[in-house]
Structure 1
């Protein structure tokens, strides 16, 4: 009997899983990525006192709210329960970051159990706290400028309360990727990555979490010689301190390395089989595997999470960016951990075959569709995000006269505005969600009747950064048979984009059956894993939708982030009280997942 490629891959992974050793409960298979889309640099923990729940945090860069927190009870189904950076006043400088690689870099999530059995807030959970250490990075500054790094910690006693994380406690460190560790005597340490362009290496110091004061910095290990040793995490097991790093840069050469010592400050002995995890120099579909974290499950078995791109070895098409993958780890007493390579279909330690859902939390599961109608007395859903901090009163949910819609107030800046303009703090009017599926359809109804002036534009975008995005919009432009100064404008559909590739702008007149005074549907569709289509048509006659542009996924594959989809509204640079901002109502926001490509 002939086997297809998917069956062969599954069989290989199953056989690999059977060799994991000392399995105390039945193995099972699951699918990666567990957090698809823009969820890089994962840090995950298991907290028994919180009803045997797993929690994961991810990087967010310039996106706000920042540092999404997901929860799961079965390692398959992950629910967004909040964002650790949810209030603009927590990090006001996020409004003025320059460069698309700036913003919030890798967070580390940890839980420190208290001594009492009940929580101060009466939740019935252990009286512990959740802690995040991370860095707000100004990546435009010189590598040796310590103002480049703003390191801080935030904490909460209940991550299911969306606005419960404390204001940041800042601490001085000339680097990034900071990680907290509690030793057996209760002493807290912070470990971080020094800027490798100055000198590559890892540093560790004691820290006071209330004041941010740190002790002398030690240099326990510099890795195995790979580019950019970073992403350090400390663990203690069997009287050894284990230090795990990422090396090789977050691209084709990414890898995970380990060392251990009897003393927290070293000297450290490198693992004899380094790198302990990497898909570099392979033909695997999942590439760039690295920046890992370790945790144990309810049975005591070990797991690792890491970032990965679904790019294949050619590393060209990966618009969703760096995603979170899960892989089993065998870690015998006194031995080095053995990681299974990351892949799409993976056999690992036992995971419940039937879903165990998280009852708390207001956000959606990561694989859920969107059907958003923005009803009265509601707020923006937890999974909708902006690029940098939003301007106040720019996004109005179901205001009087526009019930069951989201009203956008236009920005002067458009999605291609140069990084330097972001220092105004005014930002772009753009609200979005992560692309979490290889194949999807996104639709939105728009009332564009308030467009009045030349270059007034409202549309939808697949957005990676200001330098990489594709948009289809409704825009007012001079009629071609009229003088440009006549003031006679007409609505057009415009398809344009920014990329490392040449992207010609195309403009299309409205079809005769369409009016700007009637609701218009805009659509973005990933119709295969390498291409997007952009369409528009009358809301009430969707069979008349026309495609106005096609974009390739490789034109949106770059940098540290992943693609977002959502609406924007802009005057394209026009300012002034007479020809100022406009408002548009959008509604019937729909995102329909239609498939994941995993090999």
Structure 2
């Protein structure tokens, strides 16, 4: 994050602090979401053995690398340090998953006897019941290579979550049908035994996301209910969290009379759909919860970042039920001391994203593909083109084609939208040689929902073309702007502005000598509702395609910029980057 000013108050939340710990003597104010953008279904742990570090895992669906891990020392400043699912060999059939709402679902992270475990469901397997439960493990969560080939378990529920009993027995909980299923699992073989239903919830639809905690002689079973998908064109508004407890891990479980314990249902709150909670305790014994939530309020059709990660304090007295502070954009709690001293490769969430693609540099850790990247399609600083990223076009465009296999891949490299307001731009050098070759930028939710501005060759003429695809509502009509031949000899700047909470603006211009002052032409404005809905969140990035044709002209991308402009935390409350008003 960055130093920020808020319309209604001023907070210091930024990277301008010194990296050593600064003690908090009382409750500190902070803003949600703590992980903005496409980081849903959070699961977090506190690991004293890792220098008092918090680690959070998130769902990734068809985004790759998958299962991002963020770490923090103070619950406010989060650093992306690794991805659990980072190599094709870990799950080769991932590249064939066709449904854009499938893929990697709801990881749970746990730490036991010096080993880190991720239990997760892979939706979209080729055989009935079209899901497979996996368990990854690693000794070093910061190292991608430490996360090996997962084992497959036989349980046929989803949203699985491991729990170790004191005697070493390992229980796994998941959602199946109308209730929560539990079984014993052998993490060497993947075999399961003693499968049973243990709780059907309180009556809300889609009981899921179970977690078990043992405290003061009770086993607490916490679940989400109400469903976190769309409802009537707006974000899921019935999603909430409930809890039950038992003296025995297998039940019977008694429902909390105060359920739901986390809910913005039937309110007008800016954060909706709060649920899918995980709980953890910090070094000072304070309990915290994380959940997913969607911004914009119960009536908004524009929520492109989807389900994001929020944080809230929890009070949990001995022998009692936990009590949650309800999710708001501005909250306070007994935060740990401010501390950015995280000894791991990676990138902190927030702040400007400036990439020059210098010789010898790698693809940044936060860059994202859709399914597996095509081998050889992305080259940093190739010969004769230093400080560029070379893109080799794919036959598939961002929508795909029935004539090409999904496993062939799409040339698209992106990052998550992490701010309500932002400016994203790249410079592209591209001279189409064949009909239908195209290079451009996109706001991408899924293959069914994306907004694209590209440079393409049609009938031997080069055009700037804007077009959108949306399964949610009718997209704007296609826009074509014929490009002057003088543009084709050099670079073209493409820019996307999220200039308010509900719309994107697409611009382009010829890059002249002064790269900081490029005259841009507005090509299109499109509503963010076109790229809202489902389980994922928006990516912004650059693509190259032949649109099914025979072309092979590479494009050279340079001067990658993503600049935060503002973060909505309530209907009339914004957090702005320091110095921007």
TM-score, normalised by the number of residues in structure 1? 0.88
For residue 597 of structure 1, the aligned residue among 547, 568, 572 is 568
* CA displacement 1:323-351 (0-9 Å, x = unmatched): 00000110000000000110110011234
Query: Quick one: distance in 1 between partners of 2:142 and 2:53?
Result: 12
Q: Find the residue that maps to 1:598 and give its secondary structure.
A: strand
Name the structure 2 match of 1:347: 332
Q: Find the residue that maps to 2:263 and give its secondary structure.
A: coil
Name the structure 2 match of 1:585: 556
Deviation at 1:583, TM superposition (A): 1.2
* CA displacement 1:163-185 (0-9 Å, x = unmatched): 22011101112221000111112
Query: Quick one: distance in 2 between partners of 1:167 and 1:368?
Result: 34
The reply on whether 1:386 has 2:369 as its aligned counterpart is: yes
Query: Quick one: distance in 1 between partners of 2:383 and 2:319?
Result: 66
For residue 203 of structure 1, the aligned residue among 169, 172, 181 is 181
For residue 517 of structure 1, the aligned residue among 489, 497, 506 is 489
For residue 296 of structure 1, the aligned residue among 281, 289, 292 is 281
Deviation at 1:360, TM superposition (A): 2.1
The reply on whether 1:262 has 2:247 as its aligned counterpart is: yes
Q: Report matched runs for 1:115-264 at 5 Å.
A: 128-138=114-124, 146-194=128-176, 196=177, 200-250=178-228, 251-264=236-249
Name the structure 2 match of 1:400: 383
Q: Find the residue that maps to 2:129 and give its secondary structure.
A: helix
Name the structure 1 match of 2:575: none
The reply on whether 1:563 has 2:545 as its aligned counterpart is: no
Query: Quick one: distance in 1 between partners of 2:282 and 2:442?
Result: 39
Name the structure 1 match of 2:430: 448
Query: Quick one: distance in 2 between partners of 1:439 and 1:424?
Result: 32
Q: Find the residue that maps to 1:544 and give its secondary structure.
A: coil
Give the unaligned 5+ runs of structure 1: 11-23, 115-127, 479-488
Query: Quick one: distance in 1 between partners of 2:342 and 2:179?
Result: 42
The reply on whether 1:40 has 2:23 as its aligned counterpart is: no
User: When you count strand as a share of all residues, which structure comes out higher?
Assistant: 2
The reply on whether 1:471 has 2:452 as its aligned counterpart is: yes
Name the structure 2 match of 1:309: 294
Larger Rg: 1
Aligned residue pairs, count = 541
Deviation at 1:236, TM superposition (A): 0.2
Deviation at 1:581, TM superposition (A): 2.3
Query: Quick one: distance in 1 between partners of 2:186 and 2:371?
Result: 30
CA contact (8 A) 1:438 1:528 kept: yes
Query: Quick one: distance in 2 between partners of 1:188 and 1:315?
Result: 42
CA contact (8 A) 2:511 2:518 kept: no
Deviation at 1:8, TM superposition (A): 9.7
Query: Quick one: distance in 1 between partners of 2:389 and 2:132?
Result: 34
Query: Quick one: distance in 2 between partners of 1:580 and 1:307?
Result: 43
* CA displacement 1:92-147 (0-9 Å, x = unmatched): 111010111110000000111x3xxxxxxxxxxxxx011100011018x8xxx743
Deviation at 1:150, TM superposition (A): 1.0
Deviation at 1:547, TM superposition (A): 0.8
The reply on whether 1:439 has 2:418 as its aligned counterpart is: no
Deviation at 1:511, TM superposition (A): 4.1
Deviation at 1:362, TM superposition (A): 2.0
The reply on whether 1:459 has 2:440 as its aligned counterpart is: yes
Cα 1:543–1:295, aligned 2, differ >3 Å: closer, same or farther?
Answer: same
Name the structure 1 match of 2:393: 410
Cα-Cα RMSD? 1.8
Point out 4+ residue stretches in structure 1 off by more than 6 angstroms: none
Cα 1:363–1:493, aligned 2, differ >3 Å: closer, same or farther?
Answer: same
Name the structure 2 match of 1:117: none
CA contact (8 A) 2:508 2:520 kept: yes
* CA displacement 1:1-38 (0-9 Å, x = unmatched): xxxx964999xxxxxxxxxxxxx962111110000000
Deviation at 1:580, TM superposition (A): 3.6
Name the structure 2 match of 1:105: 105
Cα 1:582–1:255, aligned 2, differ >3 Å: closer, same or farther?
Answer: same
For residue 509 of structure 2, the aligned residue among 512, 519, 537 is 537
Query: Quick one: distance in 1 between partners of 2:468 and 2:45?
Result: 40
CA contact (8 A) 1:458 1:567 kept: yes
Name the structure 2 match of 1:366: 349
CA contact (8 A) 2:437 2:551 kept: no
Query: Quick one: distance in 1 between partners of 2:287 and 2:450?
Result: 39
TM-score, normalised by the number of residues in structure 2? 0.90
Deviation at 1:565, TM superposition (A): 0.4
Cα 1:389–1:284, aligned 2, differ >3 Å: closer, same or farther?
Answer: same
Query: Quick one: distance in 2 between partners of 1:474 and 1:424?
Result: 24
Query: Quick one: distance in 2 between partners of 1:417 and 1:555?
Result: 18
Q: Find the residue that maps to 1:515 and give its secondary structure.
A: helix
CA contact (8 A) 1:28 1:351 kept: no
* CA displacement 1:407-452 (0-9 Å, x = unmatched): 111011111125x667440121100000001111111010112x11
Cα 1:305–1:53, aligned 2, differ >3 Å: closer, same or farther?
Answer: same
